[in-house]
């Protein structure tokens, strides 16, 4: 092909690749509604009683933005890896990469740029934060390529990604990463991940063709695991609220008054999973289920009041 023909071909491709519709597809594939997961970065800020420190709030906000970029990068890469399987899924077939609305090259380029921005911004914030963000990206890379197909390991990887978010928040404001924060975060993440697997298993016919690890799960097995993790999460949080070190740290045992909100939130989510056949997208439930939203808002309000000692 001559140079004129090559030039014409490039020009004909450009509007398709960078059209407004494709840019909208890219933004959708970045899944901004999933950024609510990254709010966990602020947990250390709250429970370390640093909410009134402007510098720490700013550093936590930067860490949050870095994780938003990093998580969007992993969603894009994972969608490219899963495109063929997603086309056989009743819901995921509409994802931008699977549907063809977003070219694979554009998705990979955006993932690379977002990943570099995330690590670079985190390193500029603090070296440990950069290390955690890089570790998160490495974990997600391994998850997308291999680990998501290994039964049990797949949900443990999801839990680890949440723990890394909480750890980044602690590193950003230079506070100790509480063992209780680690335990409660990991258990809650496992609860959500197992509920997601159950939803996938029941939703998709021949689910193992969509995700190989689903062939090794059964509804009964997942129900047992959900029951164990649910009980463990509630017990761990209840013990945390009355633990002597917690009471000494906050100067009050008032955190025990947040237990009803945690109970309701978990029970409400179980209702969504078992009565509404949901659980496939925790972030969407968080943003759309009003009772769950109210419970989370009240929990945050009461927790902040206790931590900041507005309540005795």
The pLDDT tens digits along the chain (312 residues) read 444 444 433 443 444 456 788 889 999 999 998 898 899 999 888 888 888 888 999 999 999 999 999 999 999 999 998 888 778 777 778 888 988 889 999 999 999 999 999 999 999 999 999 999 999 999 999 999 989 889 999 999 999 999 999 999 999 999 887 788 889 999 999 999 999 888 888 876 655 555 677 788 888 999 999 999 999 999 999 999 999 988 888 888 889 999 999 999 999 999 999 888 777 677 777 778 899 999 999 998 898 888 776 544
Q: Can you give the pLDDT at residue 265?
A: 94
Q: Can you give the pLDDT at residue 253?
A: 87
Residue 123, domain member (yes or no): yes
Same domain, 73 and 109: yes
pLDDT 10s digits, 27-38: 999 999 889 889
Same domain, 193 and 304: yes
Same domain, 66 and 161: yes
Same domain, 150 and 267: no
Segments in 126-152 forming alpha helices (H): 127-145
Q: What is the CATH number of the domain that holds 75?
A: 1.10.357.140
Same domain, 169 and 202: no
**Unique residue bearing structure tokens 């008054």:** 257
Residue 86, domain member (yes or no): yes
User: Are the CB atoms for 64 and 110 separated by under 8 Å?
Assistant: no
Domain that holds residue 64: 22-177
Q: Can you give the pLDDT at residue 12?
A: 38
Residue 274, domain member (yes or no): yes
Same domain, 157 and 189: no
Q: Can you give the pLDDT at residue 16?
A: 45
Residue 199, domain member (yes or no): yes
Same domain, 50 and 183: no
How many structural domains is the chain composed of? 2
Residue 13, domain member (yes or no): no
CA dist list (Å): 108 to 85, 103, 113, 204:
18, 9, 9, 27
Where a domain ends, among 177, 192, 225? 177
CA geometry: angle at 133 spanning 131 and 138, to 5°? 90
Please provide residue 175's backbone torsions phi and psi, each rounded to the nearest 5 degrees: -120, 160
Where a domain ends, among 162, 177, 192? 177
Q: Can you give the pLDDT at residue 45?
A: 87
Residue 10, domain member (yes or no): no
Same domain, 233 and 272: yes
Q: Is 279 left (phi over 0), alpha (psi -120 to 50) or beta?
A: left
Query: How far does CA 173 lie from the centroid of its chain?
Result: 21
Helix (H) or strand (E) holding 69: helix 54-86
Same domain, 26 and 172: yes
- 52-58's contacts with Cβ under 8 Å and 24+ in sequence apart are 52/308, 53/173, 56/172, 56/173
Q: Can you give the pLDDT at residue 18?
A: 64
Same domain, 149 and 205: no
Where a domain ends, among 143, 177, 211? 177
Residue 1, domain member (yes or no): no
* Distance from C-alpha of 48 to C-alpha of 308, rounded to nearest angstrom: 10
Tokens matching residue 96 = 């931008």
Residue 5, domain member (yes or no): no
Same domain, 171 and 44: yes
Q: What is the pTM of this model?
A: 0.83
Same domain, 172 and 32: yes
């Amino acid at each position: 092909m001559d140079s004129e023909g090559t030039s014409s071909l490039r020009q004909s491709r450009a509007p398709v690749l960078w059209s407004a519709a494709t840019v909208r597809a890219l933004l959708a594939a970045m899944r901004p509604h999933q950024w609510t997961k990254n709010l966990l970065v602020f947990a250390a800020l709250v429970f370390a009683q640093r909410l009134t420190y402007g510098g720490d709030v700013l550093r936590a906000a930067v860490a949050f933005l870095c994780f938003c970029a990093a998580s969007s990068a992993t969603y894009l890469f994972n969608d490219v890896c899963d495109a063929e399987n997603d086309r056989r899924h009743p819901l995921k077939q509409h994802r931008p990469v699977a549907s063809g609305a977003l070219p694979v090259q554009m998705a990979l380029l955006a993932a690379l740029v977002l990943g570099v921005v995330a690590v670079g911004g985190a390193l500029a914030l603090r070296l440990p934060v950069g290390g955690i963000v890089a570790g998160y990206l490495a974990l997600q890379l391994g998850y997308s390529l291999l680990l998501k197909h290994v039964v049990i390991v797949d949900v443990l990887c999801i839990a680890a990604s949440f723990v890394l978010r909480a750890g980044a928040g602690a590193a950003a404001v230079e506070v100790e990463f509480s063992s209780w924060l680690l335990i409660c975060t990991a258990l809650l993440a496992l609860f959500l991940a197992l509920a997601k697997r159950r939803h996938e298993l029941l939703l998709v016919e021949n689910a193992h063709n969509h995700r190989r690890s689903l062939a090794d799960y059964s509804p009964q097995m997942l129900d047992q695991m959900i029951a164990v993790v649910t009980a463990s999460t509630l017990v761990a949080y209840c013990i945390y609220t009355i633990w002597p070190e917690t009471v000494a740290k906050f100067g009050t045992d008032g955190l025990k008054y947040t237990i009803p909100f945690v109970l309701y939130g978990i029970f409400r989510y179980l209702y969504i999973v078992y009565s509404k056949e949901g659980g496939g997208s925790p972030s969407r439930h968080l943003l759309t289920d009003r009772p769950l939203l109210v419970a989370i808002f009240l929990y945050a309000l009461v927790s902040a009041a206790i931590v900041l000692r507005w309540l005795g």
